[in-house]
Structure 1
């Protein structure tokens, strides 16, 4: 487990309060892709957001960045250093995006223009938000390329993206994202397309840069091993809702929600080498018609009649939070 697990960051730089996202689909229907998420990210803190595909993780990131499909409806609050971003005009959001808040996506090739030198793309990210000369932007870009581990950055500045490996491209994308010292970095599956060795290097880089710059990171991933390596806290998302959150140490050692427990048990490292890995039966519910009660109830081995109603959020013994009727009963008995 990460040495940083359980270490608190500074004051909250990103706060989500009861954030919901509805996206229009065909037939006049709406999908409630995110439903009532409350979450914070502190300065110099890495928070992992985990869950199966289709649980709303990337949509949550898109809502924070102001990058959602046209016609989407967002409710709740997205506070960046106390400023509510929801409802900002696109021009105002564009000034914040890439400056106070930045994105690293899982496909670096899609993030880089194949026709321009990589260094020029990093410098452009600087000049889009800072009134500096071309020379100053170039010097800053070269320094950033050096910081993220690009060998001989002065010489590689003028190279196009196709002359870089996948891992080196991702380092360039991270350099561009960090160009203006953002308060928050949204890293959406930043290591999925990389081999294990390069993945470890990128995660180590993210951790070191976060400590150095004080940037808060929301790391979106399906890989619990990645969370264990670099994250301080973790939020477990299921069917558009955060069902459990707490320190990595607490959640991994003492998972409170049946879904969290099932995710951990399905990891290869958590099971014997022989035999089949356990799987979670069923699938994520259709969010155009989400269940009225606990959204995991149909797949949960411990579901009971009360799960037909929305579960309350309960504080766990370790200081985290879980939304589950099982813990409501336990908390009531403890009073």
Structure 2
């Protein structure tokens, strides 16, 4: 349930109303936008008489929300969320960012890749220090040493680092190291203890869609994180498993506008994992950009044939540079079209 507050309400009246609701055992979420203030009421709201609320001086109207996700719901928070990833990099609300780097950290060569992607326009650096692999015999990552290499590159280039956390017991290590964005991969998208643990922090979380998740399940994963107090969630469409075998996954580009309609959270596209083949990565990246994604996550390696993991889907620095040039053109066309139509970019 949401209660829309009248413009004439004073801060003291709003605070009194929130206390009145919480004293009855409900949780609240107050969203102050440019045009209106909304109080989200979370709990078994069948016990609340909406006519009673609407009779209060400060309440304009009351609406019931049927979706199970509340904090991630745009009805509770009409304004786009903008996530501060550090180093002056913002995601959402018209801020478009590209995360690039190798699938896994393989050593000091990461810094050369990081320099290349930054020259091409990437604003965030990715690389896996801990790798969830289908086979227990596949390369599992460098662990803590890999985190240190990422942070070394981050310090030199002034770029936020995005890297995957797999175990709730490792969250504190990521915090101690100062990792800018903790990524939750597709295999852990419904690892609820992990979602709750990162939710207890204020560190931005990049939550990838699970391999067979619906859009609502993705948003419920975000709800787990936000319910623990962390509002800094970035969603990621990375392809879902279907009957199609010509690509690694099926890139659900529809999810980008659907999520924007349902949620205030930013959503980025991952054309690397969704397609699984270098030849398809760039077209999928362009499609995600045109669909209104708030950013992209693209795997880049200076020698893909020698990559320790997922070399088949990595772009070379030259291919990435070409992709970035075209992405900028698409972004310019989209933003110009939106501005002319009177719609916020």
Query: Which structure exhibits the higher relative contact order, with contacts defined as CA atoms closer than 8 Å and separated by 6 or more residues?
Result: 1
- The normalised TM-score by structure 2 is 0.31
User: Please, what TM-score do these two structures have when normalized by structure 1?
Assistant: 0.32
Which one has a larger percent strand, Structure 1 or Structure 2? Answer: 1
